[in-house]
Structure 1
Amino acid sequence: MPSVTVLYNDGTVSHETFSVTKEALPNPKRVFVIPDPADKLVQIREIIAALQAGNIPLLFDGAMKSGDEKGRVLAQCNPDHYDELEDAAALFYTSGTSGNSIAVVKTRRELSSETEVHAEWMKEERFEQCLVTVPFFHIYGFLFGLSLPNALNLPIVTKEHFLPNEILDLCAKKPTLCITNPVFIRAMLRYNEKISLAETLFISSSGPLESHEAERFEAKYSTRLIQLFGSTETGGIALRQGGDLIWKPLCGVEISSDQGVLAVTSPFVSRSIFDNVFRPLPSLFRTTDIIEMMPDGFKIIGRAAELVKIGGKRLSIVEIERFIESMEGIDEALGTVEYHSNTLRGEVLTLSLVGDRDKINTTTLKKALHDYFGGIHIESKILMVEAIAKTALGKKIRAQLFTDVTHFPGKAHKVAGTDVPTTP
């Protein structure tokens, strides 16, 4: 790895060059390592040191409390006691949409084989830096923010906390591979100044952008945007560029439809996960994504874990949230559905909203929901909240999507998705 430059919020800059070996050094007694999350440069240094020593870094998002707790418990164990860790390189904690964190075991072969595939399709590119706006403890940030720049011999530039204009300014200085996510793409779309970034390639993951958002972004900045689809368990599955609707599988990845649900076979799929005990994963990994197969790939219809049935119709909670967020005065929305089994009310959609209270009319909002979703009567409650809890990658934290209750104890001063109160 040529170098890593970290820009700090106080204006200081740290620069360090790392030496990376292809294979781990012999280590007769491996240990678990939790890299320091407080400083990106320190975290990178500790991740690389662990990998080189043959130790196993435990990588998790501090915003996901269950992952933090489980990681620290596992860190007290001896990895030599587990046969499943014989060739493990790192454990990545992920919660997916369930809220229950699990540790996904990744081997050196799985990580390096995916890195080689991405390096191959980028081999004609001529970048001078890799700008990383995502955390390194996530599989996406690890692969694209550390492993891929190392394979491409690119200096890494990152920052503790980015603003949209800072990303644009850094990309405008030289040909850049920018590793980012939908949150930053949408934020940059709102930025008024028009800058040509024809020599920059943006990679986005952690959630799909709408087709029109990707098209607008490419047109606004005269640039290219490629989205990556995958998960911690599967690794990368497919790519799509700009406003394309079809996801095209990566080299070596075989996809199929198992009763409408995406199934994957690839050299990147993990062989085991840890959730109090180690459990093997099948070589044909069945995801929770509902798809439509196409001649050269697939379209994603929705994620099974984010689909709810209201009024007898299956709806995507994500689609509901995006529709609500398009309305005036609403910045963010988080939806949950309650099923009142002891009453005649049936399903109740609770929407926790962040925005301008003076511009939000609940009657208008409910009518818009009714009209948009084909006249379905959606019993709904509206809560105004200060913030919606998110992971470091910008994903909304969903503690539970569908509950069977007789009373919803939500309060407007709570942070949606967590039990942590905020200042009213």
Structure 2
Amino acid sequence: MSLVPLLAPAPLDDIFAWRQNGPVSIADFLADTFALAARLPAGRHMLNLCQDRYRFTVGLAAGLVSDRISLQPASQSPETLRQIQATSPDVFCLCDNDFDSLDLPRLDFPEFSAVDRENIDEIPLIPANRTAVRLYTSGSTGTPVAHDKTWGFIVQSAYAEAERLGINRQVHHVVGTVPAQHSFGFESTVLLAMHAQAPFWAGKPFYPQDIVAALNAVPQPRMLVTTPFHLSALLAAGLELPPVALILSATAPLSAQLARDAEASFGAPLYEIYGSTETGQVASRQTTADQAWKLLPGVRLRQEEDVTFASGGHIEREIALSDVIEILPDGRFILHGRHADLINIAGKRTSLAYLNHQICAVPGVSDAAFFLPDEVNPDGITRLCAFVVAPGLNSRQLQAELRQRVDPIFLPRPVVFMDVLPRNSTGKLPRKQLLELFNEKVGHVER
């Protein structure tokens, strides 16, 4: 049986993570892992709901050494919990706050005041084929779907990312704005700490001032792992930004302008990761240097009609991608958007991603999202709707600006102005959320 270490080989007194009260060593992390593993309930499925990134990772590791699966849903709604309980009746919750876990069995993360660290002398080995985590799609275009990942392939993913970013050659201290439960946050904070010796900040800063404080709390060189939503808000806040060595963004396409602004503000390169819950990370690019994506080591693509399949490297099996992809002669590729985002109105085509980039580029717009309802108007044409945060603009001004950027057939009718858009913790607006907004704000009234 092939065995893979829980952590990359390193001295046990090296720093594993940063918390409010200071650094945590690898030995301390392992001691906490074994102490928690001894207290876990009998069920094999652990719903890891810890918001503190360090506690989440201790929960993950405790599950690995005791052969439990860490369930990591992107949403933690009551309906999600009920769905998980229906498919995994032995599930229990690991929590570190007052989260309402309904009637599910629950373990609140204990405080280890006198954990035995003297007997920690080596890093445990985990079977490569052990199911380590169950990730769930975000539900951006439908119902969340579960995907199991084995430990061996997960570790390969961490090595591939560390090699591509160059952080395997020098320790980087990571601040992540993305939840550990999300596939991007999991791969680019938790796994990099475990297998690229990249200590992370245990918190999950959301607001600009909290992100700045978190960056200041860890030593240089620093890596900021974030999303376009968090990055845009951070740059707009006008705060003094600490030095960082690297910025990494994912979960949504990043505009070239935002990438340029981020690199200029931080004086550091910005890279994007492309991937999915199903595949994990697939490719990367430095957005200001090249719009094409370069596959991670060992990953390959093939196309069958208009569907692209990814396999190889750390991807456990061949998986169909949800995006429209153009493979270039040198093996790189251009991303044209999600199949579900493509729009055809009166014979003219575009994508929601393109329209969102155009409306967000309008001066005075701080956030916006197009929505294509399922219903068709009496004239036989489906009308796009847009939800917009733009305090200084009215609908006439916005439409005039958009006419300079998009075909008139794609102008939104109506435009719904809002104080804030209800984005989730990764900056996404799932279709279900947009549909609820549409029904609440627009309904079936043509405006």
- Asked if these proteins are the same fold (TM beyond 0.5), I'd say yes
Q: How many residues of Structure 1 are paired with residues of Structure 2 in the alignment?
A: 380
* Residue 71 of structure 2: aligned partner: 58
Partner Cα distance (1:119, 1:292) in 2: 26
Contact 1:352 1:384 in 2 (8 A): yes
Q: Which amino acid aligns with 1:90?
A: V
TM-fit CA distance, 1:168: 4.1
* Residue 105 of structure 2: aligned partner: none
* Residue 383 of structure 1: aligned partner: 416
TM-fit CA distance, 1:137: 0.7
Distance 1:143 1:38, change over 3 A: closer
Partner Cα distance (1:218, 1:329) in 2: 22
- Correspondence 1:208-287 to 2 at 5 A: 208-243=253-288, 244-270=290-316, 283-287=317-321
Distance 1:216 1:366, change over 3 A: closer
Partner Cα distance (1:93, 1:369) in 2: 36
Contact 2:299 2:311 in 1 (8 A): yes
TM-fit CA distance, 1:411: 2.2
* Residue 170 of structure 2: aligned partner: 126
Cα deviation, 1:370-394, whole Å, max 9, x if unaligned, reads 4422343646112233432222211
Partner Cα distance (1:379, 1:217) in 2: 29
Contact 2:156 2:314 in 1 (8 A): yes
* Residue 103 of structure 1: aligned partner: 146
Determine if the alignment matches structure 1 residue 324 to structure 2 residue 359. Answer: yes
Q: Which amino acid aligns with 2:171?
A: F
Contact 1:33 1:75 in 2 (8 A): no
Distance 1:42 1:99, change over 3 A: same
TM-fit CA distance, 1:193: 5.1
SS of 1:34 mapped into structure 2: strand
* Residue 164 of structure 1: aligned partner: 208
Cα deviation, 1:242-283, whole Å, max 9, x if unaligned, reads 41201000101001333344321124335xxxxxxxxxxxx4
Contact 1:340 1:346 in 2 (8 A): no
Q: What stretches of structure 2 of length at least 5 have no aligned partner?
A: 1-6, 8-14, 93-128
Partner Cα distance (2:351, 2:365) in 1: 19
Determine if the alignment matches structure 1 residue 152 to structure 2 residue 182. Answer: no
* Residue 83 of structure 1: aligned partner: none
Determine if the alignment matches structure 1 residue 392 to structure 2 residue 405. Answer: no
Structure 2 residue corresponding to 1:188, chosen from 226, 234, 238:
234
TM-fit CA distance, 1:307: 1.3
* Residue 122 of structure 2: aligned partner: none
SS of 2:384 mapped into structure 1: strand
- Correspondence 1:84-99 to 2 at 5 A: 87-99=130-142
Contact 2:141 2:430 in 1 (8 A): no
Distance 1:412 1:4, change over 3 A: farther
TM-fit CA distance, 1:232: 0.8
Determine if the alignment matches structure 1 residue 76 to structure 2 residue 93. Answer: no
Q: Which amino acid aligns with 2:265?
A: K
Query: Share of identical aligned residues, percent?
Result: 23
Distance 1:40 1:220, change over 3 A: closer
SS of 2:198 mapped into structure 1: coil
Structure 2 residue corresponding to 1:366, chosen from 385, 392, 399:
399
TM-fit CA distance, 1:87: 3.6
SS of 1:125 mapped into structure 2: coil
Partner Cα distance (1:377, 1:132) in 2: 36
SS of 1:159 mapped into structure 2: coil
Partner Cα distance (1:124, 1:45) in 2: 22
Distance 1:87 1:150, change over 3 A: closer
Partner Cα distance (1:148, 1:64) in 2: 28
